[in-house]
């Protein structure tokens, strides 16, 4: 472990030197990547530097004790050694976790797709609740949110909403939200007060850049049409909405939220690129593992990852068995504990395979 930590420290200081290089400063793309790498490496280097200092201090205390002489000084050294040894053990455990290889996709921005599943209008309303939950969570994280496409339903919910999140470690945190979310509550339209169960599915795709996915224009069919709102009424007098079909895969992306056809096309291509990149990653993973969990199921309530129970003010994540009785806070974007515990569970599994 020490050799790996020393190599990381060398790389960290090398990156710091590069960040002050005029040639690097003149290349925004390279500057961004190096700044991100420095930030990630610092999470390891800072505790490593503290560990080295503690080890030097412990060695100094041991020398004082071995030399004998002043009893009071020796006792102070023993007391300090006990405290430093405890901190050293904590740091070593922390560094062991930090050295677990990260998913190279974790630092990427992400495209999030929320779709109403089983439950009719109530599922659409729940899809809207999830969208607002992620809006609040993005604000807490200091991320930027950009709506890519919205397919609204008349009573205030969404059949589908697609948005992009950009910031630090977006995909690394949001990827745990992928799957089917289930809600149990009494719908506003339910006169008898019976609890209904509905579902919405969430897909989390790492955002791809043009250099990651090359799209051949000849593989695309692009259709334009007039934007429409709830109920199908036209909300625009020009053909500004865009539908992009990727012929080799059959993937279809539609965007109509911008008044500009050019902007809608750019957004649609951004979503398409993320979906194609995700397909490529899935194929790569399939070569390494016998099976791959589907990121998004059919929206059926049986394929749930998390349940939001309104009568009991309860949210349960079924993957790790974590239950929080603070539904209101969760819907206000306070999902940090779920994300952190899922990250720990994920790293624990990785650590088992490394040992």
pLDDT digits over 145-179, tens only? 999 989 888 777 899 999 999 998 899 999 999 99
The answer to whether the Cα torsion of 226, 232, 236, 237 is positive or negative is positive
Phi-psi region of 153 (alpha: psi -120 to 50; beta: other; left: phi over 0): beta
27 and 48 share a domain? yes
230 and 331 share a domain? yes
How many structural domains compose the chain? 2
- pTM listed for this prediction: 0.74
Alpha-carbon span 207 to 33, nearest angstrom? 15
pLDDT value for 291: 35
Residue finishing a domain among 98, 131, 166: 98
Q: What residue numbers bound the domain in which 322 lies?
A: 110-349
Residue finishing a domain among 58, 73, 98: 98
Q: Residue 76's domain is classified under what CATH number? A: 1.20.58
pLDDT value for 298: 39
Q: 104 lies in a domain?
A: no
- Largest Cα span, the chain: 93
pLDDT tens column, 70-129: 788 899 999 999 999 999 999 998 898 888 877 888 889 999 999 999 888 899 999 999
Q: 103 lies in a domain?
A: no
253 and 321 share a domain? yes
Residue finishing a domain among 39, 74, 98: 98
């Amino acid at each position: 472990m020490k050799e790996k930590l020393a190599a990381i420290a060398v790389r960290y200081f090398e990156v710091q030197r590069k960040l002050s290089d005029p040639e690097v400063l003149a290349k925004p793309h390279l500057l961004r990547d190096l700044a991100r790498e420095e930030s990630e490496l610092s999470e390891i280097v800072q505790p490593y530097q503290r560990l080295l200092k503690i080890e030097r201090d412990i060695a100094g205390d041991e020398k004082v004790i071995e030399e004998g002489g002043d009893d009071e000084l020796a006792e102070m050294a023993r007391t300090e050694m006990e405290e430093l040894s405890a901190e050293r053990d904590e740091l070593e455990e922390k560094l062991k976790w930090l050295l677990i290889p990260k998913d190279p996709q974790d630092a990427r921005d992400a495209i999030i797709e929320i779709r109403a599943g089983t439950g009719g209008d109530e599922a659409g309303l729940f899809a809207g609740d999830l969208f607002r939950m992620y809006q609040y969570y993005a604000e807490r994280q200091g991320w930027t949110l950009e709506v890519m496409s919205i397919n609204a339903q008349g009573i205030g919910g969404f059949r589908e909403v697609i948005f992009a999140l950009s910031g630090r470690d977006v995909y690394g945190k949001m990827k745990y939200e992928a799957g089917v979310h289930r809600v149990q509550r009494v719908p506003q339209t339910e006169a008898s007060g019976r609890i209904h169960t509905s579902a919405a599915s969430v897909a989390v795709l790492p955002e791809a850049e043009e250099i990651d996915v090359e799209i051949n224009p000849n593989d695309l069919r692009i259709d334009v049409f007039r934007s429409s709102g709830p109920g199908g009424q036209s909300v625009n007098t020009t053909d500004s909405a865009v539908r992009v079909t990727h012929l080799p895969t059959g993937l279809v992306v539609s965007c109509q939220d911008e008044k500009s056809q050019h902007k809608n096309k750019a957004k649609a291509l951004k979503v398409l690129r993320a979906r194609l990149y995700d397909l490529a990653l899935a194929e790569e993973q399939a070569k390494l593992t016998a099976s791959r969990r589907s990121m998004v199921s059919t929206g059926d309530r049986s394929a749930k990852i998390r349940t939001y129970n309104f009568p009991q003010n309860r949210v349960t994540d079924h993957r790790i068995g974590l239950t929080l009785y603070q539904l209101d806070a969760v819907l206000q974007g306070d999902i940090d504990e779920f994300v952190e515990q899922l990250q720990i569970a994920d790293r624990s599994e990785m650590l088992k395979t490394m040992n």
